[in-house]
Amino acid sequence: MTKLLIATRNPGKAREYEELLADLPLDVTWLDAEGIEEEVEETGATFEENAILKATTYARLSGLLTWADDSGLAVDALQGWPGVASARHAGPNATDEDRIDILLARLQNVPPDERGAAFHCVVAIATPDGEVMTAQAATRGVILDAPRGAGGFGYDPVFYVPELGRTYAEMTSEEKHAISHRGKAARRARRLLAQWL
């Protein structure tokens, strides 16, 4: 079994990846489980730059094969905001609810047919000696004017997928993995990862 470090402190994200990678010969761990306290500042201008920065830094620090992603929400009517700042725009102690409240306030006067958005995800996998591979994907949807559903995390309760008639937060894990930006990017990254196992 190869130990794979998921470069996150978000237990929801770690759990999603553990499920997505369950059938590979991997011992999946994450930053807090490994006692890694260092923070990597996401200074990249793109999701890809941030994913590579996190993967290479934590692989070097831990000595482990490392999987990192950067993902976020880009809202058409807000010219792609919050984008790479999706998790940080509301400040370091903000909750998911705080971030959703700010987003909905900014979209208050935007009509339903102009609330298109996309979730983007880039996965970077790095070895301790600096080899890197990346995979990316996006899923389109619409931002609702109020949260719906109790599952998921982040912006999931307001990200509505018209084809399924539900928000990410109203889907089962299996349904979300099948269509989500993270699920699609992870499946592409899995195929790359298999080359190193």
Q: Compare 194 and 142 and report the one with higher pLDDT.
A: 142
The predicted-structure confidence for 166-175, as pLDDT tens digits, reads as follows 999 999 988 9
> Catalytic: which of 23, 32, 70, 129?
70
Does 100 have pLDDT greater than 90? yes
pTM (predicted TM-score): 0.88
**Residues 67 and 193: beta-carbon distance below 8 Å:** yes
DSSP string, the chain: -EEEEE--S-HHHHHHHHHHTTTSSEEEEETGGGT---------SSHHHHHHHHHHHHHHHH-SEEEEEEEEEEEGGGTT-BGGGTTTTT-TT--HHHHHHHHHHHTTTS-GGG-EEEEEEEEEEE-TTS-EEEEEEEEEEEE-SS---SSSSTTGGGEEETTTTEEGGGS-HHHHHHHSHHHHHHHHHHHHHGGG-
Is residue 129 flagged as an active site residue?
Answer: no
Does 13 have pLDDT greater than 90? no
Q: Which CATH architecture fits 2-196?
A: Alpha-Beta Complex (3.90)
Distance between CA atoms of 2 and 4, rounded to whole angstroms? 6
Q: Compare 183 and 141 and report the one with higher pLDDT.
A: 141
pLDDT computed for residue 153 by the predictor: 87
Stretch 41-68: mean pLDDT, rounded?
96
pLDDT computed for residue 21 by the predictor: 87
Cα–Cα nearest to 65, from 22, 20, 1, 15: 1
